[in-house]
Amino acid sequence: MVPKIELSPAHKKLNKSKKKKVDDGTETLTIVYKAIMSLYADNPLYRALFLFAVHGRRWNEIRTLDWKDIDFNKNRYTITLDRNKIDESQTYMLSKDIFDALIDIHDDMHGLVFKSPKTGKELSTPKRQLHKIREKTGIEKLTMHYFRNILVSAMGEVGVANTVLSASLGHTNLNTVHQFYLTANHTKASEVANSTIAQITQKKEHKS
């Protein structure tokens, strides 16, 4: 049985004050996903970038991702310890949609994955592209971090355990789940996340 996360009253109050509400996670996830696949059908770089965000990656993890940290043979990628918040390298499974987008990027596959199309240097926050997604979806409060709120809400609505959610996001809270998250299986958790996202978006698509 997956252990339940119990937050202290102080953490519950802090989390509530910082939380950005998502009214219908599964519907919102589907809307955002479809917008990305539509807007960037012919632009695999931005398609991959925003799909990584849909799958819970932080903006800093995305913009610093290096080709050498992607293993296409094993369908895995690693966020190295110097590029995340917990100083521990985390390996996740590549979803098929991200895999396909990455393969289509016209690049020598050396250095950073997400380089500026104009300068070839590290991307800054993709404000213009985010604006396009906001316009298409009508989600005005969408930010790179809000993708994580959407994912958590959607997976929570379909019953994914909090502990798996946290591991799939690469998140840890040493004051509440110190023992569990020291050995959190990010790779396995990302498999659950990938599968859940696919089930949610495909189910909604069939109904529409």
Question: 114-168, pLDDT tens digit by residue?
Answer: 988 778 888 888 999 999 999 999 999 999 989 988 888 888 888 777 777 777 7
Question: Tokens for 1?
Answer: 């049985």
* pLDDT above 50 (res 98): yes
Residues 160, 192 contacting (CB under 8 angstroms): yes
The domain in which residue 37 lies consists of: 23-207
Overall size of the chain counted in residues: 208
User: Is residue 124 in some structural domain?
Assistant: yes
pLDDT of residue 27: 92
In the chain, how many domains are there?
A: 1
Question: Tokens for 93?
Answer: 């499974």
Contacts made by residues 140-144, CB under 8 angstroms, sequence distance 24+? 141/20, 142/32, 144/53, 144/58, 144/59, 144/62
In this predicted model, what pLDDT tens digit does every residue of 34-56 receive, in sequence order? 999 999 999 999 999 999 999 99
Q: d(Cα 47, Cα 102) in Å, to the nearest integer? A: 9
Question: Tokens for 192?
Answer: 């659950």
Count Cβ atoms below 10 Å from residue 201 Cβ, excluding itself. Answer: 21
Question: Tokens for 51?
Answer: 């799909």
59: domain CATH number is 1.10.443.10
User: Is residue 2 in some structural domain?
Assistant: no
Provide the 3-class DSSP secondary structure of residue 118: coil
User: Is residue 95 in some structural domain?
Assistant: yes
User: Is residue 18 in some structural domain?
Assistant: no
**Residue ranges with strand state E in 30-169:** 70-71, 76-79, 90-93
User: Is residue 45 in some structural domain?
Assistant: yes
150, 155, 156, 158 alpha-carbon torsion, rounded to 10°: 130
Residues 112, 64 contacting (CB under 8 angstroms): yes
pLDDT of residue 208: 52
Q: What is the pTM of this model?
A: 0.78
Residue showing tokens 């110190």: 178
| CA torsion through residues 100, 61, 93, 199, sign | negative
